[in-house]
Structures are given as C-alpha cells and as structure tokens.
C-alpha cells in the first residue's frame, strides 16, 4: 500500500504469476505465454482455412521475433510445408548469422527505416544503424519480397535530405514491394505507462501534416518506389 | 442514385412524430364491427375489411411511381381516449386469460395484441404465395373462390361456406381498393399542371386499373400489386412481418421480359426496387417495438408499426444450380443504397456462389445495410431433418426474428422459448430449481407460459431425482442434462397439444387475412391455424447457448478433469450464489470459455445442441395433432429476462444475471479474435438448427477499402464453409466508441486497427481512445 493505493514494485516482480489466478477482477495478468513450436503450429493451423481462402498468412512480430530465431525458423518451416505464407516483422539489428538461416522460410520481410541519418537514428532509437544497413545490403542481393515502413515525425526525420537518402538507399531494389509511410502517433505511450508505471515527461512530437505526407509520397513514386499506404 | 422523391420521403420519415397514427382505420373498423355484428365470423371479418378499404383515404404522393399509403394524423385527446378504451375492452384486466386464448389462441404478449380487435385479428409472420399473386392476379383468386362456392363441395358445411364467402368478399374488396387508386390518379392526371406529371399519374392509373384484377405484366406491375397487398394486410389487419421469399426468382421472368422488350433499363429496375423498399419503411413508425418500456411504444395506436419485412436473395435451386441472377444484384444494391432498417435482406450463401455477387453482399453488410447471410449447406439438411420435404425445402426463407419459413405452405408465428440453461440447473439439483421451491412450476405450465413466453422465465421443475445422489462422471451429468431437457420439452408438448385441440374447435369458420394468400387454405376452406396449410410448426428458440456450454464445461474441468472441487461443493457454492466461495468463483470465471477456439469448452457446443435437437426429434416422434417443432438458436433481446429466474451457474455467473445473447459467447468472454470466435461457433452442429442470429461487431477501419472488403468476404465465406449458419454485423462508428469508453465492460472484444497494428479498444488508454475517436470522424 502506498498513500492509500495498492502499488506494485515491478522491479521486485519475478513474474511467478501467483497473483494472477487470485485476482478477482482479472486486473493482473502476465502478458505473453510460453508456447512450444509444435503447440504454436497447432494453434495457427486452426485458422488455416482463413489464410488459404484469403491469400493471407502468419506474421511473426514482436518485440523482436529473431531473438528466438531458431524457434521462428522451425515454426515458419512447418507453416511453409502446409502452404501457409509467412511474414517476418523485424528491426534487423542482429548479426547476419542469426538472420540468414531463418530467411529461407520467410515469404515477406517487413523492415523499418527510422532515419537515414546515423546520429538521428542513435538519438531516436538508442542504436546506430550500421548493422541494420549492412543486413539490408545483404538482403538486397537475395530475391526476397520486402516491405519497408517509415515512421515519420515532423522536424525529426522528414527532411528533404532524409527522404532523398531513403530514396537513394531503396532505389533499384527489384523485390521491394514498396514503402509504407506511417505518420507518427503517441498511442504507444499509454501502453508503456501500463507496463512500467509513469514514464516521466515526454517530448511532444508531431506528425507531418497531410500535405507534407502527400509530397513525400509523390517523391517516392517519382523515383519508381511504390507507396503502399500513408 | 436514390430518386429525389424517395429521399424526401426518407427525410420526412425521420421527422415523423411518434404520436402519428392511421387513425381512420380505428374509426372505420369499429363502425363495421358494429354494422355487421350479427354476421358469422368469416363474413363479418370480410365486411370489416371491405368497409375500411372502401372508405380510407387514397393518397398519391409527390413523384412516386409505386403508390399506396395511409393517412396519418396526430390524434386529439378524445380520439386517443377512444382508442385506449377499445384496447381496454378487448384486452383489459377484466378479460381473463382463458377468454383471450379463446379469441386469438397462441402467443398474445400484451404489447402485441393491445391494438388488435379480436374479431379482426392477425399477427402476421409468414410468407404469402407471392408468385401466384403476381403471375395470376387478384381476379384469379376471386374466380377460384367463386368456382369453389358453386361447386357444391362444401354445401353441407356451413362454416366452410362462410369461410369461402368471406374470402370472396375480401378479394373483391382488395380489387375495389386498388381501383380507387386508379380512379383517383386518373382524376389527378386531368388536373395535372404539366405533361410530365400528367404522364406519371396516367401511368399510375393504368397500372392500378390493370392490377386490380389482372396479373403483373412486368416488374412495375408486380411491385405495385405486392405493395397493395402488403399495405392492406399490414396496415388494416395487422398482418405484419412478411417474408417476401425469393424475390429474385419469382420476379425474374417479369424483369427479364421488361429488359428484353426494352421497356425497362436496369437503372429503372433498381429505382423501382428502391421505391418498393422505401414503401416498407414509410409505413413504419419511428420507434423500436422491442423496447416495450419506450413511451413511443406504449402510446402507439397502430396494429403493425415496426415490423421488419424479410426477403430472400440467391441460394440454391432445386436442380442444384445457383439462384444468383441480375435481379439478385439489384436487390442487394438497392439495400446498399438505402441502408434503412426495413426491409431485411437475407442472402442465402451456398458453396460455389458467384464471387462478384458475394462481394456485393459483403460490401452491403460492411456499409451497415440491413443484409444478413444464411448458409444453404446447413439450413437445407436441418429443415429436412425436421420434416420439410425435398420439393419444398429450396424455397425456405425467414421472417422476423430469424425464424425459418416455408413460403405459402405454413401460417404465422408460433414460438417456444427454451432456456438451455434450465435443464443444466435441474440436472445439478435433483430436478428442482435452486430458487424458492414454492415458486417452482410443476408439470403443467401456466396458460401464460404456454401462450406467451414458452419456457423462458421459469422457475420450472424437471424430473425429480435424489439431489444427494453422487454424480460420478461427466457422462453421468450429461445424461442428467439430456433427461431434464427431454422432460421439460415433452411436458410442454403435452400441455400444448391440449391447447391445439381446443383451438381446432374455436377456429371452425374463422378466417384471418393471411388465409387469402396461402396455399391450401382456400382449397380446403380452412384457416391455416387448424390445418389449412401443409405445414404447421412451432419454432423452438434454444437460448443461452454459451452460458449452458460454459457451465457444463466448467463442471467437467473443475470436478472431473482437474478435481479441484467435488460435485457437491460446487452445488453448495451455486446454491449460496458463491457467497463465501470467492476463490471458487474466481477459479470458475477463469476457466476456458466458449468463443476462444478451445476444444475443452467448445466440444460442449455439440453436446448441448445435440441434447436440444434430440429432445425436439423426440417431441416430433411423440406428437399428436398438427404441430411439429423446429429447433433454432436465438434469444432475441430476452437474454436478460431469461437470466432472472436462474440461480448462479458453474461458469461463475451470479444468480439472476443475464444469459448469453443469441449465438454469441458470453459477453466479454471471447478474447482471442474474430477467427477464434468463428471457429468456436462452428462447433455447433448447425446442420440440425433451423435459424437464429450471430451478431458480429466490427470497426469500420478493419474492413475499409478494397482490401478490407476482400478480407471480410473471405472471412465470412470460410465461416460458412466450416459450418457456420448465419452472420449479421455492425460496423461501428464514433457513437459506439464513445459508449464503449463509458462502459468498457460491455465492449471487451471490440477490435480496432490503430495504424499499423490492431488493439482491443478498451485496453487502450483514454488518450489513445480519444485520438481514435477523432480519427473515425474523418
């Protein structure tokens, strides 16, 4: 109890889960469950008819699914053998030796470009993009379908220079389906608060306005890069 | 695309006062009731109809091509008082239930019957023989009855002769009424200010003059004739809630002839259909008949004021081919254009349905048009199991609310509400409800139960056994559940059959307006109610499916599989409404629930529904008399009422709480997404179930654009292919999101796409919700 309220010290929580079954209101829950590749496969196959009829499939997303790369490889392989299409949504910030074995089982890779400026990338994400770009370079040599997504924040990564660099970086990539331009939103802040408690003052960011988004989309199209959505 | 005059009429409708009424009907009806008081029932009935139709105001509205409306006024205080005094005389507290039963037999919920004079009575809910109406015309009906009267066949049966005499007067009254429209329009044409208006009125006059007795020459004649028949039945005699049946089949030859002759374009046809649909809406009143507590419902003086008229599109034909044709497209497109609540379009899906047509249908659903889908692949076997012959089964359709109907071959609404949770409670407690034993109803159901609500509210006693007797296995418990189910239904059948016996005496010589246009009634000079038609059924609405499924599964898991509690401990906790059993209730609430694609609970969907259907098969095997029984899964809006008399249940539900709604999981318990929900529902053996709705709620963002349409069309098709029976959906907008924000417990499963990901709306924070609400407005 803290100032008349129940308060959890999440730093001391060992995720033993004992609080969950006795919480009458279901307010406490462990997000995520442990599951083996075989059980996951069975679970996914329950929807196989929906995937097949719609031309859809399964996306491994996260977090970073490649932190369990072997698991993804096995599960994706089994789905593949059933004719189910598999997509991988990854930050790509891993050693190529981790990524490479999984790729044969993947039909579509979903990648993000957060910024084409090394320092901005570091400021916004906490890592330099060198490894990501290197991996993208390798991926380009393979005939693998790719969709690139770009979250755009006004004044941060929507400059002419950023866009020009992104266009240069992506041009001439035959198996690139296109880019999806995502206007920034701060809905994730609420999610972060629910997991970590108050997260302190946040800098206020803005999405580029509608006209700016349209202009950016036009620039990609003018350079023969399809814009899937924005 | 919507003709201007229709748009205007729609706007007028939304501004209509809820006090408006077709008052002259009441006055004309009562004049005639008195004037013909000494006549036999059927003849008097027909004379009342004739008097109303000969004297009610004829209206031809601006711009319209399909005519037929009633004059609505706001009644004065004296007029209202007069109308109320009539209701009191017919159905007031001084009239005993036995007298009411004798007047109108089955199903008289007070709100329904109150404006209906028992000597001029109908409750509708059926399909006329529309094909014969349009292809042969009213004159053919009148000639046929004249021939029968002259044939001598019924000369020694005065009641049958009266029935036929009544029918003859009634057909002529219809024809004369339509002829009044012809004369009125001709007169108006002479006064018309311009050529265009004169042409319009002259055509109306010509059409009405022809269809007063003749058969339809084309689509316009057919729709005009159908509309006149509907107007008369629905607005004068209260025979509402029609099934227009397979309009794309019986109107196709006329439509094709028009197109071929070049007298009609598809665009003209679409506009005529739009106008016909809107007529169905125009005669309704701005209220919700299921909200009996609403002032507008209480005050309403109409006999039929919020009745959905159904129509059927697509579906298999008897020769195995698809019924989809050009007219099917137009009938769905018209609904998509109008997006009104009436009429209610049923699209019958079947394997191999034309994919462009399917897209059109799902697009209409996505746009919140009143379009629902049913599955031929389950419905046809189910109807056959419950006695519908091969030659009739392909004509099937529905009337409100989702009851199956074989057009023209059966009469109106008869329902029995079967709370599927009752037999479970009785199986748990020695055949006795947990509630106050002095309230328990033994063996003979009250007249009110029999006639009005079925086994809806209880508390009904079942087959008695020693409650202390241990239940050693789940199989043993299921056997008890099945035994209680059969017992309740069979007792009900037994007492109902005594009622049918009485009805057959009371209804000799009586006629109802629907007898004029069914198959068999005129030929046998017998009202449908006592044998005039081929089929006679009671639809059994199995209610509380998910509550029953969850509760049985909970016993299986808690007592037998996990052995967490003994059978007796569970029984005591339920008896105590879980007071002092918090830990047990918490455990039970967290057990697997129907709607999440989990075998351990979903397998009970088959067990519960088979228990229900087997009991119905048994009823039909033992039945004596006319009526057979057909199982459906539905609660309508009564899932709250039906929970009231129940004790707590093993799914963790508290005493008196609502049961689950229609075919849905218990509110808030499906948390695994749309495909998991649909997978669970397909575990119901729908090839034994003859109707009932599955309500789905989608956010517009999840189905937007061509990609959204393709996904939704595919999702629904897979659901049906996997054995789902029906689906209807609400694609929700801003208002509902705000409501969800205020009452998140009711909207737990509302799935929204935020940008590149999906989330459950109520799990998002307020700010994110607000942002989404803003965005939806765009």
Do B632 and B685 belong together in one domain? yes
Distance, CA of B43 to CA of B168 (rounded, Å): 9
- pLDDT for residue B469: 86
Mean pLDDT of B546-557: 98
At B109, the pLDDT band (50, 70, 90 cuts) reads confident
Considering only residues B141 and A19, tell me which one the structure prediction assigns the higher pLDDT: B141
- pLDDT for residue B764: 67
Indicate whether B447 belongs to any domain: yes
Q: Does B579 contact chain A (CB < 8 Å)?
A: no
- pLDDT for residue B743: 85
Considering only residues B775 and A150, tell me which one the structure prediction assigns the higher pLDDT: A150
Structure tokens at B553: 């599964």
Is residue B635 exposed (0-12), middle (13-18) or buried (19+ Cβ within 10 Å)?
Answer: buried
Considering only residues A216 and B18, tell me which one the structure prediction assigns the higher pLDDT: A216
What domain count does chain B have?
2
pLDDT digit string, tens, across residues A64-74: 999 999 999 99
Considering only residues A192 and B419, tell me which one the structure prediction assigns the higher pLDDT: B419
At B456, the pLDDT band (50, 70, 90 cuts) reads low
Indicate whether B330 belongs to any domain: no
Indicate whether B257 belongs to any domain: no
Judge whether residue B444 has pLDDT over 80.
no
Answer yes or no: do B587 and A21 touch at CB < 8 A. yes
* 3-state secondary structure at position B92: coil
Contacts of B766 in chain A (CB under 8 A): 190
At A165, the pLDDT band (50, 70, 90 cuts) reads very high
- pLDDT for residue B753: 42
Do B623 and B770 belong together in one domain? no
Distance, CA of B760 to CA of B745 (rounded, Å): 12
Do B673 and B740 belong together in one domain? no
CB burial of A69-90 (b: ≥16 within 10 Å; e: otherwise) equals bebbbbbbbbbbeeebbbbbbb
- pLDDT for residue B776: 40
Contacts of A54 in chain B (CB under 8 A): 710-711, 714-715, 718
Indicate whether B58 belongs to any domain: no
Distance, CA of B647 to CA of B203 (rounded, Å): 64
The position carrying tokens 């003849």 is B43
Backbone angles phi, psi at A224, to 5 degrees: 60, 30
Considering only residues A24 and B581, tell me which one the structure prediction assigns the higher pLDDT: B581
Return the CATH number of A35-229, one of 2.30.30.280, 1.10.275.30, 1.10.150.120, 3.20.20.70: 3.20.20.70
Task: Tell which of A24, A26, A43, A50 to mutate to test the B interface (max B CBs under 10 Å).
Answer: A50
Nearest chain B CA: its distance from A53 CA (Å): 6
Q: Considering only the beta carbons, identify the residue of A50, A55, A189 that sits closest to B715.
A: A50
Nearest chain A CA: its distance from B362 CA (Å): 14
pLDDT digit string, tens, across residues B672-695: 889 999 999 999 999 999 999 998
Distance, CA of B247 to CA of B134 (rounded, Å): 11
Contacts of B597 in chain A (CB under 8 A): 46
**CA dist B684 → A79, B381, B606, B617 (Å):** 28, 14, 5, 17
Cβ(B689)–Cβ(B382) below 8 Å: yes
Residues whose CB is less than 8 angstroms from the CB of residue B176 and which lie 6 or more positions away in sequence, other chains included: B50, B53, B54, B212
Structure tokens at B341: 């609540």
Cβ(A58)–Cβ(A84) below 8 Å: yes
CA A17, A18, A21, A25 torsion-angle sign: negative
Contacts of B353 in chain A (CB under 8 A): none
Nearest chain A CA: its distance from B330 CA (Å): 26
Residue at which a domain ends, from B664, B693, B722: B693
- pLDDT for residue B291: 62
Cβ–Cβ contacts within 10 Å for residue A156, how many? 20
Do B484 and B557 belong together in one domain? yes
Cβ(A185)–Cβ(A178) below 8 Å: no
CB burial of B257-280 (b: ≥16 within 10 Å; e: otherwise) equals ebbeeeebeeeebbbbbbbbbbbb
Do B637 and B743 belong together in one domain? no
At B754, the pLDDT band (50, 70, 90 cuts) reads very low
Distance, CA of B326 to CA of B248 (rounded, Å): 8
CA nearest B626: which of B532, B486, B540? Answer: B532
**CA dist B582 → B525, B589, B625 (Å):** 64, 10, 51
Cβ(B217)–Cβ(B137) below 8 Å: no
CA B385, B389, B391, B392 torsion-angle sign: negative
Mean pLDDT of A138-153: 94
Q: Which of A11-25, B249-263, B358-372, B391-405 has the lowest mean pLDDT?
A: A11-25
Distance, CA of B341 to CA of B277 (rounded, Å): 10
Q: Which of B141-155, B179-193, B441-455, B662-676 has the lowest mean pLDDT?
A: B441-455
Judge whether residue A3 has pLDDT over 50.
yes
- How distant is the alpha carbon of residue B313 from its chain centre? 16
Task: Tell which of B558, B578, B582, B590 to mutate to test the A interface (max A CBs under 10 Å).
Answer: B590
Q: Considering only the beta carbons, identify the residue of B710, B718, B772 that sits closest to A49.
A: B718
Indicate whether B548 belongs to any domain: yes
Note if the bond before A18 is cis, omega within 30 degrees: no
- pLDDT for residue B638: 81
Q: Considering only the beta carbons, identify the residue of B587, B679, B768 that sits closest to A190.
A: B768
Do B525 and B637 belong together in one domain? yes
Q: Which of B462-466, B567-571, B767-771 has the lowest mean pLDDT?
A: B767-771
**CA dist B553 → B308, B605, B661, B714 (Å):** 37, 10, 18, 31
At A207, the pLDDT band (50, 70, 90 cuts) reads confident
Indicate whether B304 belongs to any domain: no
Note if the bond before A64 is cis, omega within 30 degrees: no
- pLDDT for residue B454: 64
CATH number, position B613: 3.20.70.20
Cβ–Cβ contacts within 10 Å for residue A226, how many? 12
Residues whose CB is less than 8 angstroms from the CB of residue B103 and which lie 6 or more positions away in sequence, other chains included: B90, B118, B121
Highest mean pLDDT (candidates B383-392, B412-421, B629-638): B383-392
Mean pLDDT of B561-582: 96
Cβ(B207)–Cβ(B224) below 8 Å: yes
Residues whose CB is less than 8 angstroms from the CB of residue A97 and which lie 6 or more positions away in sequence, other chains included: none
Distance, CA of B534 to CA of B411 (rounded, Å): 9
At B455, the pLDDT band (50, 70, 90 cuts) reads low
At B59, the pLDDT band (50, 70, 90 cuts) reads very high
Q: Does B714 contact chain A (CB < 8 Å)?
A: yes
Considering only residues B112 and B74, tell me which one the structure prediction assigns the higher pLDDT: B74
Residue at which a domain ends, from B668, B693, B718: B693
Is residue B517 exposed (0-12), middle (13-18) or buried (19+ Cβ within 10 Å)?
Answer: buried
Mean pLDDT of B396-405: 92
Q: Judged by CB atoms within 8 Å, which residues 339-398 of B form the interface with A?
A: none
User: Left if phi > 0, otherwise alpha if psi is -120 to 50, otherwise beta: which for A126?
Assistant: left
Contacts of A47 in chain B (CB under 8 A): 675-676, 679
Residues whose CB is less than 8 angstroms from the CB of residue A193 and which lie 6 or more positions away in sequence, other chains included: A199, B765
**CA dist A217 → A209, A214, B704, B725 (Å):** 12, 5, 21, 44
Nearest CA in chain B to A229: B756
Supply the angle between the helices A69-81 and A37-45 in degrees, to the nearest 10: 40
Contacts of A193 in chain B (CB under 8 A): 765
Q: What residue numbers bound the domain in which B553 lies?
A: 415-693
- pLDDT for residue B11: 86
Q: Does B705 contact chain A (CB < 8 Å)?
A: no
Mean pLDDT of B416-420: 91
Distance, CA of B305 to CA of A210 (rounded, Å): 48
- pLDDT for residue B756: 32
At B14, the pLDDT band (50, 70, 90 cuts) reads confident
Contacts of B583 in chain A (CB under 8 A): 22
Q: Where are the beta strands (DSSP E) in A85-224?
A: 85-89, 108-112, 145-152, 176-183
> Which residues from A are below 8 Å from B when comparing CB atoms?
21-24, 26, 46-47, 49-50, 53-56, 149, 180, 182-183, 185-187, 189-191, 193-194
Cβ(B404)–Cβ(B632) below 8 Å: yes
In percent, how much of chain B has pLDDT > 70?
A: 93
pLDDT digit string, tens, across residues B615-668: 999 999 999 989 999 999 998 878 888 899 899 999 999 999 999 989 999 988
Do B772 and B673 belong together in one domain? no
Distance, CA of B376 to CA of B362 (rounded, Å): 17
Nearest CA in chain A to B765: A190
Distance, CA of B206 to CA of B179 (rounded, Å): 10
- pLDDT for residue A1: 53
Mean pLDDT of B292-298: 72
Q: Does B599 contact chain A (CB < 8 Å)?
A: no
Nearest chain B CA: its distance from A52 CA (Å): 9
Cβ(A184)–Cβ(A151) below 8 Å: yes
- pLDDT for residue A100: 96
Do B619 and B687 belong together in one domain? yes
The position carrying tokens 């729609």 is B10
- pLDDT for residue A187: 65
* 3-state secondary structure at position A49: helix
Q: Which of B280-289, B318-327, B468-477, B573-582 has the lowest mean pLDDT?
A: B280-289
Do B475 and B622 belong together in one domain? yes
CA A154, A159, A165, A167 torsion-angle sign: positive
pLDDT digit string, tens, across residues B296-344: 778 889 998 888 899 999 999 999 999 999 999 999 999 999 888 888 9
- pLDDT for residue B382: 98
Q: Which helix (H) or strand (E) holds A227?
A: strand A227-229
Judge whether residue B290 has pLDDT over 70.
no
Indicate whether B283 belongs to any domain: no
Q: Which of A138-152, B282-296, B362-376, B392-406 has the lowest mean pLDDT?
A: B282-296
* 3-state secondary structure at position B695: strand
Q: Considering only the beta carbons, identify the residue of B583, B679, B766 that sits closest to A46.
A: B679
Nearest chain A CA: its distance from B706 CA (Å): 13
In percent, how much of chain B has pLDDT > 90?
A: 73
**CA dist B574 → A22, B439, B482, B559 (Å):** 19, 18, 20, 14
Distance, CA of B702 to CA of A200 (rounded, Å): 33
In percent, how much of chain A has pLDDT > 90?
A: 63
Cβ–Cβ contacts within 10 Å for residue B571, how many? 21
CB burial of B171-183 (b: ≥16 within 10 Å; e: otherwise) equals bbbbbebbebbbe
Q: Considering only the beta carbons, identify the residue of B711, B717, B765 that sits closest to A190.
A: B765
Structure tokens at B317: 């034909």
Cβ–Cβ contacts within 10 Å for residue B412, how many? 23
Is residue A5 exposed (0-12), middle (13-18) or buried (19+ Cβ within 10 Å)?
Answer: exposed
Do B677 and B747 belong together in one domain? no
Nearest chain A CA: its distance from B419 CA (Å): 28
Cβ(B684)–Cβ(B694) below 8 Å: no
Do B678 and B743 belong together in one domain? no
- pLDDT for residue B294: 67
Mean pLDDT of B687-706: 89
Do B617 and B745 belong together in one domain? no
């Amino acid at each position: 109890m803290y100032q008349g309220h129940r308060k959890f010290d999440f730093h001391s929580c060992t995720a033993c889960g004992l609080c969950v079954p006795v919480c009458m209101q279901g307010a406490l829950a462990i997000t995520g469950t442990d599951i083996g590749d075989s059980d996951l496969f069975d679970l996914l196959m329950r929807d196989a008819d929906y995937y097949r009829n719609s031309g859809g499939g399964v996306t491994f997303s996260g977090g970073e699914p490649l932190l369990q790369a072997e698991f993804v490889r096995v599960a994706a392989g089994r789905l593949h053998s059933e004719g189910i299409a598999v997509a991988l949504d990854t930050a790509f910030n891993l050693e190529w030796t981790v990524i490479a074995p999984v790729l044969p089982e993947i039909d579509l890779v979903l990648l993000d470009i957060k910024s084409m400026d090394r320092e901005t990338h570091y400021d916004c994400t906490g890592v330099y993009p060198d490894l990501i770009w290197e991996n993208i370079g390798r991926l380009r040599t393979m005939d693998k379908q790719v969709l690139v997504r770009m979250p755009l924040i006004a004044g941060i990564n929507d400059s002419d220079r950023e866009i020009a660099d992104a266009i240069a970086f992506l041009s001439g990539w035959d198996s690139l389906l296109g880019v999806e331009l995502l206007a920034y939103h701060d809905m994730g802040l609420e999610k972060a608060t629910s997991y970590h408690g108050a997260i302190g003052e946040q800098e206020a960011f803005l999405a580029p306005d509608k006209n700016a988004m349209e202009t950016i989309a036009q620039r990609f199209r003018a350079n023969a890069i399809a814009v899937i959505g924005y | 695309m919507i003709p201007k005059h229709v748009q205007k009429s729609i706007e007028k409708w939304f501004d209509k006062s809820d006090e408006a009424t077709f008052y002259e009907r009441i006055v004309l009806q009562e004049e005639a009731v008195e004037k013909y008081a000494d006549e036999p029932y059927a003849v008097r009935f027909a004379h009342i109809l004739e008097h109303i139709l000969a004297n009610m105001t004829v209206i031809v509205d601006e711009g319209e091509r399909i005519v037929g409306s009633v004059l609505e006024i706001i009644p004065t205080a004296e007029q209202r008082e007069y109308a109320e005094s009539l209701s009191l005389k017919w159905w007031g507290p001084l009239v005993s239930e036995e007298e009411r039963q004798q007047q109108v037999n089955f199903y008289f919920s007070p709100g329904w019957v109150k404006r209906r004079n028992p000597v001029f009575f109908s409750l509708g809910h059926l399909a006329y023989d529309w094909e014969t109406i349009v292809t042969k015309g009213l004159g053919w009906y009148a000639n046929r009855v004249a021939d029968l009267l002259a044939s001598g066949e019924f000369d020694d049966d005065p009641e049958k002769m009266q029935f036929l005499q009544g029918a003859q007067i009634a057909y002529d009254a219809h024809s004369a009424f339509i002829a009044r429209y012809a004369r009125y329009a001709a007169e108006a044409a002479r006064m018309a200010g311009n050529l265009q208006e004169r042409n319009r009125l002259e055509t109306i006059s010509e059409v009405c003059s022809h269809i007063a007795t003749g058969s339809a020459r084309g689509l316009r004649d057919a729709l005009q004739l159908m509309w006149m028949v509907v107007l008369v039945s629905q607005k004068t005699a209260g025979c509402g809630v029609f099934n227009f049946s397979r309009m794309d089949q019986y109107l196709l030859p006329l439509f094709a002839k028009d197109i071929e002759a070049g007298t009609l374009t598809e665009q003209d046809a679409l506009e005529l259909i739009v106008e016909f649909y809107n007529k169905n809406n125009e005669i309704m009143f701005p209220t919700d008949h299921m909200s009996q507590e609403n002032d507008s419902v209480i005050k309403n003086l109409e006999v039929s004021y919020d009745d959905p008229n159904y129509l059927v599109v697509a579906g298999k034909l008897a020769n195995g081919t698809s019924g989809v044709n050009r007219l099917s497209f137009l009938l769905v497109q018209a609904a998509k254009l109008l997006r009104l609540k009436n009429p209610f379009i049923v699209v019958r899906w079947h394997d191999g349905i034309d994919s462009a047509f399917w897209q059109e249908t799902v697009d209409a659903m996505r746009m919140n048009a009143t379009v629902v889908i049913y599955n031929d692949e389950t419905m046809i076997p189910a109807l056959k199991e419950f006695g519908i012959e091969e030659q009739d089964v392909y004509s099937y359709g529905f009337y409100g609310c989702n009851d199956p109907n074989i057009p023209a071959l059966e009469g109106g609404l008869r329902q029995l509400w079967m709370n599927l949770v009752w037999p479970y409670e009785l199986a748990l407690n020695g055949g006795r409800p947990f509630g106050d034993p002095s309230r328990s109803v033994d063996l003979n159901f009250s007249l009110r139960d029999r006639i009005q609500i079925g086994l809806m509210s209880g508390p009904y006693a079942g087959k008695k056994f020693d409650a202390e007797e241990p239940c050693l296995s789940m199989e043993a418990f299921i056997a008890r559940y099945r035994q209680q189910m059969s017992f309740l239904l069979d007792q009900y059948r037994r007492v109902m059959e005594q009622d049918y016996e009485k009805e057959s005496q009371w209804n000799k010589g009586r006629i109802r307006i629907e007898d004029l246009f069914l198959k068999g009634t005129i030929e046998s000079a017998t009202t449908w109610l006592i044998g005039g038609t081929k089929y006679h059924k009671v639809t059994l609405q199995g209610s509380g499916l998910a509550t029953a499924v969850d509760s049985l599964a909970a016993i299986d898991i808690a007592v037998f599989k996990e052995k967490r509690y003994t059978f007796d401990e569970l029984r005591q906790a339920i008896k105590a409404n879980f007071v002092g059993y918090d830990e047990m209730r918490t455990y039970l609430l967290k057990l697997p629930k129907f709607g999440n694609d989990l075998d351990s609970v979903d397998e009970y969907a088959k067990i519960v529904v088979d228990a229900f259907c087997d009991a119905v098969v048994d009823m039909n095997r033992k039945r004596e008399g006319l009526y057979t029984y057909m199982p459906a899964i539905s609660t309508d809006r009564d899932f709250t009422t039906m929970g009231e008399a129940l004790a707590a249940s093993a799914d963790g539900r508290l005493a008196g709480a609502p049961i689950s709604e229609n075919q849905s999981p218990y509110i808030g318990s499906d948390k695994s997404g749309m495909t998991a929900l649909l997978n669970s529902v397909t575990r119901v053996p729908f090839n034994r179930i003859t109707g009932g709705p599955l309500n789905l709620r989608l956010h517009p963002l999840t189905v937007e654009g061509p990609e959204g349409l393709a996904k939704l069309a595919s999702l629904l098709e897979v659901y049906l292919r996997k054995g789902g029976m029906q689906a209807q959906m609400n694609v929700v907008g801003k208002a509902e999101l705000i409501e969800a924000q205020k009452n998140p417990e009711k909207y737990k499963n509302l799935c929204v796409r935020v940008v590149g990901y999906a989330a459950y709306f109520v799990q998002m924070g307020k700010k994110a919700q607000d942002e989404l609400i803003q965005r939806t407005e765009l």
